[in-house]
């Protein structure tokens, strides 16, 4: 109903002036140069309408022609964006499936669309590295050097390749150059300090890491402590930097005990036990030159207090058994040894059982298992080589600061997930 009314009024709106004009046609006289045009007002209006229509038509046509290149460019750009978007998706999928060929292809398509750019060049270089094609990787890295924003990435990549190729001098040069651009870059600082450490320049290596904050990377801080130790710093100075270094903990416990500061030695043991779990630290604490049962008992109580928070671990139980044994508490020693599951008994535990058997006639000693577990050893995080003693340099792979106590609760993998993206 409303629609009918609407149509009716629209028709009325157009018809009324037309009808009115035909009723009052009027007269228009135009004198132009030597011509005299006489026409009705209606025709005059119609001509005016016709001309404005033509004018609008030509104006729109003109606009379309002028705007053609712009529109064409816009359409092309949209297509380009679509291609780039698809290629990026393909690259991510290929990274996940480890398809290097497709990663390469995606990066090349992007390069073709937008020319040389950091992203494609970087992806191509990483892909070349993972294919062990260092020559190609270097070519791309050097391309990155030419761009201001890509310079650091290029230098980092070149030093990484030099390290992989064992060209230590070259690696050092690129690392030093990269630190000129980003002096606080943790990766470059870490790698350069390790390089210096390799050539026994401990002091220089430690100095380089001076500005690194602990929350940034515990492993780098630990390295600095190691370098300081090698450079001959006082154990207390090293302890202030990192609490994760077993040889230092042992030295400090010894130092405080010798100084008669038993309480301080206890604090060091308490602060480091949970992470390090190395029974040698307990041995150092309970070891006394002149046997004194009162001192031994006091030390046992302190060990108990220091180790109690991690009582579930077998190393803690063994540590307590050792401390109890030193205090001649045979029953306590037995209790802690029995708490360790038989399948976890190793030669250290068997040895303590034997000693207990020799010292106490009244205690009943269990039958020793036939198969005993391997005694825990030090292990290199890099090459997994087992050794009987700690050393700063792995004797097998020569890496610095990688040897840890296998029972320690230290971070075993320091690599970031992104480093694993292509390798
Ligand atoms: Zn190693």
Q: Per residue in 184-241, pLDDT tens?
A: 899 999 999 999 999 999 999 999 998 887 566 888 999 999 999 999 999 999 999 9
Annotated domain spans of the chain: 243-371, 377-423
The b-or-e profile of 153-163 (16+ CB within 10 A means b, else e) is bbbbbbbbbbb
pLDDT at 69 over 90: no
Q: How many angstroms is it from 395 CA to the middle of ligand 1?
A: 7
Residue 32 has a pLDDT of 72
Q: Is the pLDDT of residue 116 over 80?
A: no
pLDDT at position 423, please? 46
Confidence of residue 97 (pLDDT cuts 50, 70, 90): confident
Percentage of the residues of the chain whose pLDDT score is greater than 90: 60
Q: What would the mean pLDDT of 240-269 be, rounded to a whole number?
A: 94
CA of 253 to the centre of ligand 1 (A): 28
The average pLDDT across 166-182 equals 95
Beta bridge partners of 373: 346
d(CA 103, ligand 1 centre) in Å: 32
Residue 375 to residue 161: CA distance in whole angstroms: 39
Residue 403 alpha carbon to ligand 1 centre in Å:
7
Q: Give tens-digit pLDDT for 14-43.
A: 677 666 666 776 676 777 777 777 777 777
- Determine the pLDDT at residue 247: 95
Cα dist from 24 to 12, 17, 18, whole Å: 18, 10, 10
Ligand 1 midpoint to CA 127 (Å): 27
**Mean pLDDT, the chain, as a whole number?**
88
CA-based nearest residue to 320, from 333, 309, 331, 310: 333
In CATH, what number does 243-371 get? 1.25.40
What integer is the mean pLDDT of 356-381?
Answer: 89
Q: How far is the CA of 387 from the centre of ligand 1 (A)?
A: 10
Helix axes 41-97, 2-23, angle to 10 degrees: 140
**Number of neighbours of residue 371 by Cβ within 10 angstroms:** 7
Cα separation, 341 vs 370, in Å, equals 14
- pLDDT per residue as tens digits for the range 325-351: 999 999 999 999 999 999 999 999 999
pLDDT value, residue 192: 96
């Amino acid at each position: 109903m409303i629609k009918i009314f609407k149509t009716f009024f629209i028709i009325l709106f157009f018809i009324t002036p037309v009808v009115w004009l035909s009723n009052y046609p009027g007269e228009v006289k135009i004198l132009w140069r030597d011509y005299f045009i006489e026409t009705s007002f209606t025709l005059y209006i119609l001509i005016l309408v016709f001309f404005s229509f033509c004018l609008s038509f030509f104006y729109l046509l003109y606009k379309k022609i002028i705007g053609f290149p712009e529109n064409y460019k816009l359409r092309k750009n949209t297509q380009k964006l679509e291609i780039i978007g698809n290629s990026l998706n393909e690259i991510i999928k290929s990274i996940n499936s480890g398809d290097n060929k497709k990663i390469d292809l995606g990066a090349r398509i992007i390069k073709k669309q937008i020319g040389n750019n950091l992203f494609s060049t970087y992806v191509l270089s990483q892909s070349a590295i993972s294919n062990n094609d260092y020559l190609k990787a270097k070519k791309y890295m050097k391309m990155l050097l030419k761009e201001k924003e890509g310079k650091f990435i290029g230098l980092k990549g070149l030093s990484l390749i030099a390290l992989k190729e064992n060209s230590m001098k070259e690696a050092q040069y690129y690392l030093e150059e990269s630190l000129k651009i980003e002096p606080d870059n943790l990766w470059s600082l870490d790698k350069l300090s390790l390089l210096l450490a390799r050539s026994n320049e401990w002091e220089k290596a430690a100095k380089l890491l001076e500005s690194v904050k602990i929350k940034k990377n515990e492993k780098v801080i630990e390295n600095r402590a190691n370098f300081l130790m090698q450079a001959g710093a006082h154990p207390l100075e090293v302890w202030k930097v990192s609490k994760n270094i077993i040889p230092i903990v042992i030295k400090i416990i010894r130092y405080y005990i010798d100084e008669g500061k038993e309480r301080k030695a206890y604090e060091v043991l308490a602060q480091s036990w949970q992470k390090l779990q190395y029974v040698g630290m307990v041995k150092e604490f309970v070891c006394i030159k002149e046997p004194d049962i009162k001192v031994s008992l006091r030390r046992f109580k302190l060990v108990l207090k220091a180790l109690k928070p991690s009582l579930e671990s077998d190393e803690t139980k063994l540590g307590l058994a050792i401390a109890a044994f030193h205090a001649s508490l045979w029953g306590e020693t037995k209790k802690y040894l029995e708490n360790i599951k038989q399948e976890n008994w190793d030669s250290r535990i068997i040895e303590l059982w034997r000693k207990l058997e020799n010292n106490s006639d009244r205690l009943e000693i269990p039958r020793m298992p036939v198969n005993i577990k391997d005694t825990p050893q030090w292990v290199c995080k890099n090459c997994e080589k087992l050794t009987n003693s700690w050393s700063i340099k792995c004797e097998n792979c020569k890496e610095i600061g990688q040897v840890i106590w296998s029972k320690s609760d230290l971070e075993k993998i320091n690599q970031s997930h992104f480093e694993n993206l292509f390798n």
